[in-house]
Amino acid sequence: MSAERLLKLTEKYLKQVIKTISFTNNEEIGREILGAVKGRPRTEDVEIKLDRICEEIFEEFVESSKLSVRVFSEHGDYGDSSPEYLCSIDPFDGSGLYRRGFEFEWYSVLTFFNLDGNPVVGGAADI
The per-residue pLDDT for range 87-125, each reduced to its tens digit, is 999 998 888 788 777 778 889 999 999 999 999 999 999
* pLDDT score, position 52: 85
Span 11-23, mean pLDDT? 89
C-alpha 24/C-alpha 100 separation (Å) is 14
Phi/psi at 57 (nearest 5 deg)?
A: -60, -50
* pLDDT score, position 95: 80
* pLDDT score, position 76: 80
* pLDDT score, position 68: 95
- Cβ atoms 113, 6 nearer than 8 A: no
Question: What is the pTM for the complete model shown?
Answer: 0.83
